[in-house]
Amino acid sequence: MRLNALTAAGLIAAVLLTPSSGPAIADDAQKLIDDAAAMVRAMSSDSSWGHFAATYAEARAVVLVPDFLEAGLIVGGGGGQCLILARGESDDTWSVPSFCLVVEASIGLQIGLQKSQIMMMVMNDEALFEMLSGTAKLGGKAGLTMGMLGGGVEGATTLNADVDIFAFSRAQGLYGGVKLDGGWIEPDAAYNRAYYGRAVTATHVVIDRRVSNPASNGLIAALAAAKGSSPQ
């Protein structure tokens, strides 16, 4: 029996949304942050970063996916835990991270299993607030406009006002690049609660900055350092 894209996405979402228990959530949350910090440092020291540095410098926020798994056989799909951080409107400093999930489904001749690291650069407030509210759809006719960079593709050197999100990926596997059309972003309330010690929305974390956790300072420092990185 062939699964359709919606069924494939549902199965992936069910796996990703299955919660850990007790203190394990906080441990998993910290590992995700540490992995994201390592990912940012690796991306910003890559020889390709110079193509993306100008776009990154103008980004309103970033979504970091340290471990995105994509699998496909006629029907493709993928997903991973991720983090959203935003720049301050007045001082250019980074917020602490809010936890979320990204889930993707696509139809096509995709045969393989691939793990990728993805950085999405969110270019405007509208796209950011859709992500924080859990209503963001990626690509497609009704979704946020995506510009995919990476996977051997040269990055844009000029900004396109019509693009809500640029994505830069580092992938190893049978096919390069990651398609996110048809996917969505889902805030992870359980991880936010475990990491910050109380119930808090993604908007409270990223925009209002009502909570803090010094264990995320390494990730924030990596993002701040990446702005000026331009390897030769």
- The total of other beta-carbon atoms located within 10 Å of residue 135's CB is 10
Would you call 67 exposed, middle or buried from its count of C-beta atoms within 10 A (0-12, 13-18, 19+)?
Answer: middle
- The total of other beta-carbon atoms located within 10 Å of residue 56's CB is 20
9-37 pLDDT tens trace: 444 444 444 555 557 898 999 999 999 99
Q: Which of 121, 114, 102, 115 is nearest to 187 (CA)?
A: 102
Give me the pLDDT at residue 8, please. Answer: 42
Which band of pLDDT confidence, cut at 50, 70 and 90, is reported for residue 49? confident
Give me the pLDDT at residue 97, please. Answer: 98
d(CA 97, CA 161) in angstroms, rounded, equals 26
Q: Please check the confidence at residue 101 and state whether its pLDDT lies above 80.
A: yes
114-147 pLDDT tens trace: 677 888 899 999 999 999 998 888 876 556 877 7
d(CA 156, CA 129) in angstroms, rounded, equals 24
Element (H, E) at 77: strand 75-86
Task: Assess contact for 102 and 183: CB atoms under 8 A.
Answer: yes
Give me the pLDDT at residue 87, please. Answer: 96
Segments making up each domain of the chain, as ranges? 5-219
